Amino acid sequence: MFQPHARNSSWAPGEKCGLVAIIRTVATILELERFASRRHDLSDAPLSRVTLEIRAGEIVTLSGPSGCGKTLLLRAIADLDPATGTAVLDGKQRDQYSGPEWRRRVGFVATESAWWETCVGDHFSTPPGSGDIAALALSTAILGREVADLSTGERQRLALLRSLANQPRVMLLDEPTASLDYDTTLRLEVMVRDYVASSQCGVLWVCHDLNQRRRVADRALAVIGGVVQTADKAERS
């Protein structure tokens, strides 16, 4: 299991992220071509015909007004909802993967993730290491608790650990720090950046906080008028 604390032993809350040097590559992990969600048989998805790429070792943030289709886009990429267009992962079309294999390789962490067992620990085939749990300001005792007794912030952090356990090639993060305080937000950011640096995965991160975007983003995208474009262009519009 990934252990960011071992590589960032000198990190302290409040410090700006970026303690790990990321090795840049030009490899593209995920490519979307004229891609759109078709959840509930939408004839005209709010965000449609999306064309973008996520490269190895980079975090791409995505911002935009509520209701513009960001979450629908992430769910469709994760193969949780039907979609049109093309999605390619590591050079292979989505239909060349089984559904479970695609969803292991493309990890989706929702703002409020699904939980199907009563006990937290039953959601992990291998329990996360104590260091990983502590890195997110949690204790190992939380694995024995019932999901219904957890706060939203606790569930968000555990959902990230659950996704990382699958060693995804791409991570889709839908406001994963929405219910976290500043200190814990920084901890989660460091964990994600460390995983990106060690695995050279790619990340698409829905993020509305400008300061967070400055801390974590290698590229920043925004949705304006139903079109995905670079954030600086969107802000000038």
**Domains along the chain?**
57-73+105-216+226-236 (3.40.50.300)
Q: List CB contacts of 236: < 8 A, sequence separation 6 or more.
A: none
Question: What count of residues does the chain have?
Answer: 237
CA-CA distance, 170 to 58, in Å (whole number)?
Answer: 10
Q: What is the pLDDT of residue 15?
A: 43
Q: Is the pLDDT of residue 155 over 50?
A: yes
User: pLDDT value at position 62?
Assistant: 95
Question: Which of 18-32, 153-167, 168-182 is predicted least confidently?
Answer: 18-32
Determine contact, residues 171/2, Cβ cutoff 8 Å: no
Q: Is 168's pLDDT higher than 80?
A: yes
The predicted model gives 186-214 an average pLDDT of 95
What is the pTM (predicted TM-score) of this model? 0.83
Q: Which two tokens stand for residue 232?
A: 């600086």
Q: What is the mean pLDDT of residues 88-112?
A: 93
